[in-house]
Amino acid sequence: MSDESPLPAIGAGVQTGPIVNDFCITISTVNGSGSATANNLLLRALFRMGIPVSGKNIFPSNIQGLPTWYTIRLSKDGYLARLEKDDIVIAMNPASFKRELDYILPGGVLFYADDIKQEITRTDVIAYPMPVKKLIKDADVAPNMRDYIANMVYVGVAGQMLGISLDELYAALDFHFKGKKKAIDSNFSVIKAAAEWTAANLEKRDPYRVERMTGMTDGCIMADGNTSAALGALFGGLQFAGWYPITPATSLAESLNEYLPTLRKDPQTGKYTCIVVQSEDELAAIGMTIGAGWAGLRSMTSTSGPGLSLMSEYLGLAYYAEVPCVVWDVQRVGPSTGLPTRTQQGDLTQVYFNGHGDTQFVMLIPGSVNECFEFGWRALDVAERLQTPVIVMSDLDLGMNQWMTRKFEYPDRPLDRGKILWEEDIDALVKENKDWGRYLDVDGDGIPYRTVAGNKHPRSAYFARGTGHDEYGKYSEEPEVWERVLDRIARKITKSIEYLPAPVLTGDGTSEIGIIVSGSAEPAVMEARDQLKAKGIATDVLRIRSIPFHTEVKDFLRDHPRVYVVELNRDGQLRQLLTINNPEYATKLYKVAHTDGLPLTAKWVRESIEAHEEKAS
Amino acid sequence: MTSPVPVSPVTVNLVGLSRSDYRGAASTLCQGCGHNGIASQIVAALYEMNLIPENVVKFSGIGCSSKSPTYFLSRSFGFNGLHGRMPSLALGALAADTSLKGIGVSGDGDSASIGMGQFKHIIRRNVPMVYIVENNGVYGLTKGQFSATAEKGLTLKKQGVNQFLPVDICAEALVANATFVARSFAGDPRQLKELLKAAISHRGIAILDVISPCVTFHNQENSIHSYTFGKEHEIPLHELSYVPAREDITIEDYEEGTSREVTLHDGSTIVLKKLDKDHDPTDRMQATMVLEEARRRNELITGLIYINPDEPSFFDGYGLVDEPLNRLDDSRLRPSREALDQLNAVFM
């Protein structure tokens, strides 16, 4: 059951009709206890049963000892957004036990480690003890591994009670440990013992269970956005990545390293076609990335808010010197160090206005894990085609959580290396008596031709700089030269908007109410849309996938009397950008924004829109 | 009939290029600026080494020093980056084609203050390039503030007295495990040229701290960064000659036991003729001592302070394909459909 229609309060042990494949489980553990493995096992096993699932890790900025939560939502209808309350809680951490109890819906279930000697204050939940200590003591496991393997007990107990077969759990273990027999077997022995204990000792008194489904997960995989972005970039011909560790972007660069040997080793020579460098800080990460991009490598870096702030100055240079490069901004909660392990869409205006002087940064905003893969390669195409930095706006929720998503699709076009000239190209120009200047607008699209270091033609070289320069790259302080070059750079981007990913419309476009959304806020909006529809309120949803905005965005604003801009930040940053670009429609744009570190829920989106609609009517 | 006026043939080097093929735009720095002398020696060194300008890439940060890459090698690619952040830019660019020779020009403001972090880290990584610090102890482009290499007690017109001890570029490089550390003086062109050649041949980071007087804001006779002081107090460690690979070393020019040789990775050799004392530049301990002694005696020691020609360079550790990365065609860069199918199967 979702939190939209809670069960009536009933006494523990009273059976109602079964609730199948439509509920939410939250597992409460201590961070650093190895619970990620156990949680991923449950998620993977459910997914393999054909049940749409999503998993969200709510974790502290800490290595060991603080409370951490993992929420698995099963949704037979395919909704992936966060829910506000839990049907089932698995409590392994005494420190947060009291709080967990409050989050269980009436009629819900509590599994708890029986060494937690605290009063269960709720009479409207069904409580099952789990003899974690005893089962681990009896298991054939090295003493130093006991704490890590303790979490397998709840996998076995919950699996047995919900109806996940041991075969499915074994297959999930096999996936997680990549076939390493010893690790699989020691974990599985605990799961099996726990399941057997449960079958013999616990009587099922709750309505929740899982059943194999067909049709809902066909053609889908389960992955996180950071891994997918890295894979996308490697399929996009990435050649250089400079990066510095920062939560929640770290796993993106680490995934590059993980997949380099399988994907980017030259089959003939066994040598690499891509280089990944961990830098000393973000100032250097972006410097390296821009150096590589300038010299003709498909280059990127990955970071989050604080790192992005440090990269501002170099990005400004890359904008003005017209250097292609890609920055993945896996957003976390700011300002300042903020909440490093929580999610937000808080960097939109920062990136839009990045740096001093007049700039315009191209942003791509993936809305799913599948799109993280697609934008992984596409961002490199856009950067080289437009000769400009491209910032991909992901976030922690998308980047670090496991999502059910459509299979990765092979790029539908060859690499776009943009307008690049090698020796024979310059020879041809010289033969035709044509001029070559690094910043000459030859084609009238504002995009000049570039050469890169290593080109041996005596006329190929130029001196790149962030200082004023003319069409030949020569230093210039001439007023008209400055203005001409800067205007041409603006033109090159405005003329290329059609090259950027277009917005996606859901609905027939004729509703009174429009909703604009971007990125990971989409699942909550799409679920809210269905809930509103069930109440007779029709809406059209437009998901923005790139900035600067396509013309369809203005059309959408024109065609809808009221437009709600739903986003995960305090100030309504997407709405601010829409307002600046569409001042004529400013008065019909409504902010539906908040930020508390957690992903949006459909309930909050729906209620926010309903509240405003009531006021409006 | 008159016979044609004989045209004097242009002198060319072994790759058929004249000196003018190595020149850059006219300098816009002050007349007499040490940086101009350094640019001339870069031109001379590369001409004499028969390097093709297209095989060199120039980098710089921000400041008077960082303007100078436009004053040499017009036919080479160059990138004038951000203040103190030339090293990262160079690292990324050199990855594109590791056969290229990188020459970075920085200053004491650029490297010893804002850029200290990147200076240290490019050294630590042993990125193969020449890193010249045009060191004058003063911020010239902003008109005369103390830099971090200015000596304690120095007085400047608008700044008063400098209270802080100077950063020693060579000592910092040595501590960061640089594989080539040298100091020279813009007023000693012969030594500078030989050191430049050795630095270009070195496979690894070559730090060249060149005392380069600022004639406009800081050329006080008593200061270590002035022409007068340099001319009077320069103590060369050796008489130094660079001998290219495949050229016989005329060792008989030197008395036995008065010289030592260091062979570089490309087969070229540095011949060091003993002067006052026998400094062994392959000994890190001696290198440290030499710097410390010079500091105590207020001397400008110049020459090759330290070299380790055998350390693997940054790119050696990455197992990259032999051809330049930036010339790989699409088929080498995009994995196959089958590879993606396999990944999809794994994530199912």
pLDDT at residue A1 is higher than 80? no
Q: What is the pLDDT of residue A194?
A: 97
pLDDT band for position A120 (cuts 50, 70, 90): very high
pLDDT tens string B320-345: 999 999 999 999 999 999 999 999 99
CA distance linking residue A189 with residue A26, whole number of Å: 24
Tell me the residues of chain B between 75 and 104 that have a Cβ less than 8 Å away from chain A: 75-82, 85, 87-97, 99-100
If we measure between CA atoms, which residue out of A235, A159, A260 comes closest to residue A204?
A: A159
Task: Kindly state the average pLDDT of the residues A475-502.
Answer: 97
Burial A220-237 (b: 16+ CB within 10 A, else e): bbbbbbbbbbbbbbbbbb
* Phi-psi region at B177: left, alpha or beta (left = phi > 0; alpha = psi -120 to 50): left
Q: Could you tell me if A236 lies within 8 Å of chain B, comparing CB atoms?
A: yes
pLDDT tens string B172-196: 999 999 999 999 999 999 999 999 9
Q: Are A549 and A571 in contact (CB under 8 A)?
A: no
pLDDT tens string A374-411: 999 999 999 999 999 999 999 999 999 999 999 999 99
CA distance linking residue A418 with residue A159, whole number of Å: 53
Which residues of A fall within a CB distance of 8 Å from B339?
262-263
pLDDT band for position A135 (cuts 50, 70, 90): very high
pLDDT tens string A182-225: 999 999 999 999 999 999 999 999 999 999 999 999 999 999 99
* Phi-psi region at B303: left, alpha or beta (left = phi > 0; alpha = psi -120 to 50): left
Q: What is the pLDDT of residue A12?
A: 42
Q: Could you tell me if A456 lies within 8 Å of chain B, comparing CB atoms?
A: yes
Task: Kindly state the average pLDDT of the residues A550-558.
Answer: 98
pLDDT at residue A428 is higher than 60? yes
From first to last of its 348 residues, chain B has per-residue pLDDT tens of: 456 666 677 899 999 999 999 999 999 999 999 999 999 999 999 999 999 999 999 999 999 999 999 999 999 999 999 999 999 999 999 999 999 999 999 999 999 999 999 999 999 999 999 999 999 999 999 999 999 999 999 998 888 999 999 999 999 999 999 999 999 999 999 999 999 999 999 999 999 999 999 999 988 888 889 999 999 999 999 999 999 987 655 555 556 667 888 999 999 999 898 887 889 999 999 999 999 999 999 889 999 999 999 999 999 999 999 999 999 999 999 999 999 999 999 998
**In angstroms, what separates the C-alpha of B90 from chain A's closest C-alpha?**
6
Q: Are B35 and B192 in contact (CB under 8 A)?
A: no
Q: Do A237 and B53 touch (CB under 8 A)?
A: no
Same fold, A19-209 and A223-406: no
- Please name each of the domains of chain B with its CATH number: 19-320 (3.40.50.970)
Q: Are A167 and A149 in contact (CB under 8 A)?
A: no
Given A272, A292, A408, which is nearest B320 (Cβ)? A272
Q: Are B92 and A323 in contact (CB under 8 A)?
A: no
CATH classification number, A19-209, choose in 3.40.920.10, 3.40.640.10, 3.90.100.10, 3.40.50.300: 3.40.920.10
Q: Could you tell me if A89 lies within 8 Å of chain B, comparing CB atoms?
A: no
Q: Which of B28, B75, B79, B338 to mutate to test the interface with A (most CBs of A within 10 A)?
A: B79
Given A240, A281, A290, which is nearest B89 (Cβ)? A290
How many residues are present in chain B?
348
Task: Tell me if residue B251 falls in helix, strand or coil.
Answer: helix
CA distance linking residue A208 with residue A160, whole number of Å: 12
- Superfamily of domain A223-406, CATH level 4: Thiamin diphosphate (ThDP)-binding fold, Pyr/PP domains (3.40.50.970)
Instruction: Compute the C-alpha angle B25/B30/B34, nearest 5°.
Output: 85
pLDDT tens string A462-472: 999 999 999 99
pLDDT at residue A11 is higher than 80? no
Q: Give the residue extent of every domain in chain A.
A: 19-209, 223-406, 423-498, 504-616
Task: Tell me if residue B271 falls in helix, strand or coil.
Answer: strand
Question: DSSP readout, A24-80?
Answer: EEEEEEETTSSHHHHHHHHHHHHHHTT--EEEEEE--SSSSSSEEEEEEEEETT---
Task: For CA atoms A457, A458, A459, A465, give the dihedral sign.
Answer: positive
**In angstroms, what separates the C-alpha of A455 from chain B's closest C-alpha?**
7
CA distance linking residue A40 with residue A22, whole number of Å: 18
Which residues of B fall within a CB distance of 8 Å from A453?
57, 77, 93, 96-97, 100, 326
Provide the pairing of β-strand A325-333 with A299-303: parallel
Q: Do A231 and B69 touch (CB under 8 A)?
A: no
pLDDT tens string A430-481: 899 888 999 999 999 999 999 999 999 999 999 999 999 999 999 999 999 9
Q: Do A291 and B90 touch (CB under 8 A)?
A: yes
Q: Do B57 and A295 touch (CB under 8 A)?
A: yes
What is the interface size between A and B, counted as CB pairs within 8 Å? 212
Task: Kindly state the average pLDDT of the residues A274-286.
Answer: 98
Q: Could you tell me if A571 lies within 8 Å of chain B, comparing CB atoms?
A: no
Q: Do A222 and B330 touch (CB under 8 A)?
A: no
Q: Are B247 and B237 in contact (CB under 8 A)?
A: no
Which value does ipTM take for this structure? 0.95
CATH fold, domain A504-616, is Rossmann fold (3.40.50)
Q: Average per-residue pLDDT in chain A?
A: 94
Q: What is the pLDDT of residue A4?
A: 43
Given A279, A464, A466, which is nearest B88 (Cβ)? A279
Tell me the residues of chain B between 108 and 127 that have a Cβ less than 8 Å away from chain A: 117-118, 121
Beta strands in B213-291 (DSSP E): 234-236, 238-243, 259-263, 269-274
